[in-house]
Amino acid sequence: MGRTHDTLDDDLVAWIERQHVFFVASAPSGPDGHVNLSPKGYDTFRVLGPTEVAYLDLTGSGVETIAHVRENGRLTIMFCAFEGKPRILRLFGRAEAVLVGDPGYDGLAAAFPTVPGARSIVRLSVERIQSSCGYAVPFMSYERERETLDDWAARKGPEGIAAYHAEKNARSIDGLPGVVR
């Protein structure tokens, strides 16, 4: 059965820290447009407080989450246990995307490892914390992180990443502004 929590307590924080993957879901305002669901990995998630979290957003082929958050602020983050006891945790709230170079980025970035290709930090003010059983989630074993994104971003270098953002991340698939410098 589902349960709501007032805050991210020590048990939930410790459990979150053991997860290797999380998912973010966002959507544009109105009845049209595409709902987006993205998996995230690496050591990119941080609990900043009892109702505040953030993740280091890495360059990708799309920019949906940033565009949606800029438009309406809505974001849901989900974790699910693939090892150990079954559990799903959803964090619902209002988010902001702080792009590399924006005021406040460096202060937030200090909590994360340096990763080539970082493009923003998405900070979520959590309004609802909900856990559920996850009984139907399969067991899967963690092997290791993929090095592909790190290698790709390192080869591109800062100028190549900036050019990629301008070409591929300036607008969402629905035409909303994304990484605009």
| Span 85-137, pLDDT tens digits | 999 999 999 999 999 999 999 999 999 999 999 999 999 999 999 999 999 99
Q: Collapsing DSSP states into helix, strand and coil, what is residue 139?
A: coil
HSE toward the beta carbon, residue 33, CA cutoff 13 A:
18
Residue 36, amino acid: N
Query: What pLDDT is stored for residue 181 in this prediction?
Result: 72
List pLDDT tens digits, range 142-164: 999 999 999 999 999 999 999 99
Query: What pLDDT is stored for residue 9 in this prediction?
Result: 97
* 91 is a domain residue: yes
CB atoms within 10 A of CB 139: 9
* 180 is a domain residue: no
- Tokens representing 3 are 């349960």
Residue 165 confidence (pLDDT) above 90: yes
* 181 is a domain residue: no
CATH number at residue 161: 2.30.110.10
Rounded Cα gap, residues 100 and 153, in angstroms: 15
Query: What pLDDT is stored for residue 1 in this prediction?
Result: 62
Rounded Cα gap, residues 118 and 99, in angstroms: 9
Residue 75, amino acid: L
Residue 7 confidence (pLDDT) above 90: yes
Q: For the residues 52-73, what does the mean pLDDT come to? A: 97
Mean pLDDT for the chain overall: 96
* Straight-line distance from the first to the last Cα atom of the chain, in angstroms, rounded to the nearest whole number: 45
Total domains in the fold of the chain:
1
* 64 is a domain residue: yes
Query: What pLDDT is stored for residue 98 in this prediction?
Result: 98
List pLDDT tens digits, range 34-60: 999 999 999 999 999 999 999 999 999
Query: What pLDDT is stored for residue 168 in this prediction?
Result: 95
- Domain that includes residue 14, residue range: 3-137+144-168
* 126 is a domain residue: yes
What is the model's pTM? 0.96
**Is the Cα torsion angle 97, 24, 82, 12 positive or negative in sign?**
positive
